[in-house]
Amino acid sequence: MALKGWYPDPGGQPGRFRYWDGSGWSATTTTNPHSAPPPTPATNQGNERQRSRDRGWLYALIVLALATVVTMVFVITRSGTPNRTSATEDTNSAKPTVSGWDETSTPTPPPTLTAPGGGDLVSCPFTRNTSNTTQRGNTLRSGNVVVDRTPDWIMRDMYLEFSYDRHFQTYILYESQFRQWMADIGVASLAIEDGFVDIRTSAEQAMQCLASSEYYEGFTGRVDLKSEQIEISGHPAWHLRAEILVDDVYFPNVEGDVTDIVVIDLGPSSDHLGLYTASCTIGDAYTCDAIDKAITTLRVED
């Protein structure tokens, strides 16, 4: 699973590196990512000021063009209609080509870059919810969705911008010069106001965000292994399991992950759905056995 860090410039500049912050590429590049710190917000503020100046020039040009048109109309009205050549009707459509999951939710701008290593980015919601369930005992908890912790795995936040109240454990299998490849198990919440309404569609949405956005370097495809309705502590839930395949230049021996997504309906009084997600490396017996055991402990404590 790919993390934030410096990667070879997706624009193709030889020997240059660009920083991936989990949602977009930095404007700056470097030749030595070992010593270069992540870009600071000040860089983005500078870019915004530059964009503001560019917009100012654009607005001025628009006003000048409108003034020219008004003057021409006035002259034509006073002196008569000049000779014109015939024009072909413009049949281009102005309709948008990108649709969201739920038109009632806050729209997310479509991405303009590809993920590290290639593959299309999926435009996922960015939730504004910030609740944080207190953790206790040997469990991971998001609201009343609970799963037992796995011994010897470390607590670590996973940046899943479409979810909140996230609590995860990870196990690092491989490390390269810039990145780590890990397995993970965790629980989180999906806000209904963000477009996560029914369990089956929400499971597919969560899998899409994991599979083809910034979480995987060199995503090449997905093979669904299981898609079924189940029951968790008497609550309807949808379980989706898939192989997420990659061609990762940093981990050429890794084929990809086996990933579980379980979305739980917590009842009509809840403003969110429960989320369980876990990933193990394809062919790795230890991590895959761990996520198989973890899912059997998944429960809702009403």
Tokens of 111: 């991405």
The reported pLDDT for the residue numbered 189 is: 97
The reported pLDDT for the residue numbered 73 is: 52
DSSP characters over the chain:
---SEEEE-TT--TT-EEEE-SSSEEEEEES-TTTPPPPPHHHHHHHHHHHHHHHHHHHHHHHHHHHHHHHHHHHHHHH-PPP-----------S-S---S-TTSPP-PPP-SPPTTS-PPP----------PPP-TTEEEETTEEEEPPTTPEE-----TT-EEEEEEEEEEEE-SS-EEEEEEEEEEEEGGGT--SHHHHHHHHHHHHHHSTTSTTEEEEEEEEEEEEEETTEEEEEEEEEEEE--SS-TT--EEEEEEEEE---TT-SEEEEEEEEEETT-HHHHHHHHHHHTT-EE--
pLDDT top residue among 14 and 121: 14
Question: With contact defined as beta carbons under 8 Å apart, do 239 and 258 qualify?
Answer: no
Find the mean pLDDT for residues 254-269.
Answer: 97
């949808």: which residue's tokens?
238
CA 160 from centroid of its chain's CA atoms = 7
Minimum mean pLDDT among 18-27, 194-203, 258-267: which range?
A: 18-27
Could you give phi then psi for residue 73, rounded to 5 degrees?
-60, -40
For 175-234, how does the pLDDT look when each residue is reduced to its tens digit (9 = 90+)? 988 889 999 999 999 999 999 999 999 999 999 988 876 678 788 999 999 999 999 999
**pLDDT grade, residue 146 (50/70/90)?**
very high
pLDDT top residue among 91 and 128: 128
The reported pLDDT for the residue numbered 51 is: 54
The answer on pLDDT for 164 being more than 60 is: yes
Q: Enumerate domains of the chain plus CATH numbers.
A: 139-300 (3.40.1000.10)
Kindly report the average pLDDT of the chain as a whole number.
78
Find the mean pLDDT for residues 155-180.
Answer: 91
Find the mean pLDDT for residues 34-54.
Answer: 54
pLDDT top residue among 173 and 67: 173
Strands 256-264 and 272-281: antiparallel
pLDDT top residue among 67 and 150: 150
**Separation between Cα atoms, residue 262 and residue 235, nearest integer Å:** 12
């030749």: which residue's tokens?
31
pLDDT top residue among 50 and 211: 211
The answer on pLDDT for 46 being more than 70 is: no
Question: With contact defined as beta carbons under 8 Å apart, do 125 and 106 qualify?
Answer: yes
The reported pLDDT for the residue numbered 25 is: 75
pLDDT top residue among 252 and 70: 252
**The pTM is what?**
0.62
Tokens of 13: 């500049």
Find the mean pLDDT for residues 127-156.
Answer: 95
The reported pLDDT for the residue numbered 27 is: 73
For 67-120, how does the pLDDT look when each residue is reduced to its tens digit (9 = 90+)? 665 556 554 555 443 333 333 444 433 333 333 344 344 433 333 334 444 444
pLDDT top residue among 114 and 57: 57
Find the mean pLDDT for residues 136-158.
Answer: 94
Find the mean pLDDT for residues 16-38.
Answer: 71
Percent of the chain's residues with pLDDT above 90: 49
- What is the b/e burial string over 175-192, where b = at least 16 CB atoms within 10 angstroms of the residue's CB? eeeebbbbbbbbbbbbbb
The reported pLDDT for the residue numbered 34 is: 61
The reported pLDDT for the residue numbered 80 is: 44
Residue 61 burial by Cβ neighbours in a 10 Å radius (0-12, 13-18, 19+): exposed
């629980």: which residue's tokens?
187
